[in-house]
Chains A and B, each alone.
Chain A
Amino acid sequence: MASAPTYTPIATQTLATGASSVTFSSIPQTYTDLVLVTQEYTTGTPTAYGISVQFNGDTGSNYSNTLVSGNGSSAASSRATNKIGAWIGYESYSANWTNIVTNIQNYSNSTTYKTLITRSSVASNYVAAGTSLWRNTGAISSITVLSTDFGSASTPFVAGSTFTLYGITAA
């Protein structure tokens, strides 16, 4: 079997000041999968309860998700359709860091819609996993992480929030 090292950091962003969105642009098309690792929380009282991503600047209602979560006393599954962002995790605030690891498989193919699978957690609040869809066959060349799943980023990520994008290449 051939083998080759991979799992390459593409870019990392650490917020020096609060921001409502973070964008990775000019993503190379040379990998098979992307992994987005974030740790953040948001300021104020959230008006939305999700963190989302938009691909290639698409702000249309072309995203959907299915998720399962548990908050320590109950578990639930929910779904959203025709959203303007792909859910990757729940929002947190008041210094409770949210950890999210999002996998975007086969991101550069131009035949299928794009599916991501994601896990997120805030130790003091919940754990969750989900899958989201972008109904577009275009190769993903940019990712914008939004501090809401409504597309109106009203509760900024705090300074110190980190966002790292990795690329994985299949042999």
Chain B
Amino acid sequence: MILPGILASGISGHLGGNYTSIATVNASGSSNTVNFSSIPNTYTHLQIRGSMIGASGGSILVAVFNGDTGANYTWHELDGNGSGIAAYSGTGNNYARFYGRNVGTSATYPTASIVDILDYTNTNKNKVLRSLAGMDANGSGEVAFASSAWLNTSAINSIVVKTHDGTNFATGTQFALYGVK
């Protein structure tokens, strides 16, 4: 089985039975959080696909697992902004980092993101994710890779995705959670 999305260098066959839509949240415009709870433990991997817009401001996109807001997350990120590249990292953070810059700062220039969370039910491993996200606005924008670790061996049963600075997700923003067998 080849994991779809950003992990796939090639895909063959029909994936329909092995890639399942679990839940979708459409932002109401009045909240900076999206909550996926009671995640089934019947898949091997999870994928979150996002399309984000915002009325104003901007923030990094982060997540917490199983409600853990302790200093139990680490991350690395590589960004390109059209003229230069930069690398960042963090340790002892209270969030996993999905995307580092200016999520959904415009109603017309969406930010797209894909996050893969591997082996999320395994109780012998800390959990790792990796993401690809980007937004281009014809003269500005950024593309970024990131990887985060949650230093906890528990199976993931809930994920809260949120903007770090509290900027609300605008109406039209959507996050969809998928399970991969």
Residues of A in contact with B, size category = 35 or more
Q: Is the interface of A mostly helix, strand, loop or mixed?
A: strand
Given A112-B108, A117-B112, decide whether A1 and B38 contact each other with a Cβ distance below 8 A. yes
Residue A25 interfacial (CB < 8 Å)? no
Among the 9-residue stretches A15-23, A31-39, A49-57, A146-154, the one with 4 or more Cβ atoms under 8 Å from chain B is A31-39
Asked if A101 and B80 sit within 8 Å, CB to CB, the answer is: no
Residues of B within 8 A of A81 (CB): 138-139
Bound-state CA distance A109–B174 (Å) is 12
Residues of A within 8 A of B137 (CB): 64, 133
Asked if A112 and B107 sit within 8 Å, CB to CB, the answer is: yes
Residues of A within 8 A of B109 (CB): 112-113, 115, 133
Asked if B11 and A164 sit within 8 Å, CB to CB, the answer is: yes
Residues of B within 8 A of A171 (CB): 21-24, 176
19 contacts between A and B (CB under 8 A): A5-B21, A6-B21, A8-B14, A33-B49, A35-B4, A37-B8, A68-B80, A75-B85, A77-B83, A78-B82, A101-B9, A103-B5, A105-B110, A119-B6, A131-B142, A133-B109, A168-B19, A169-B21, A171-B23
The residues of A with any CB-CB pair to B shorter than 8 Å are: 1-9, 32-33, 35, 37, 39, 64-69, 75-79, 81-82, 99, 101, 103, 105-106, 109, 111-117, 119, 121, 129-133, 135, 137, 164, 166, 168-171
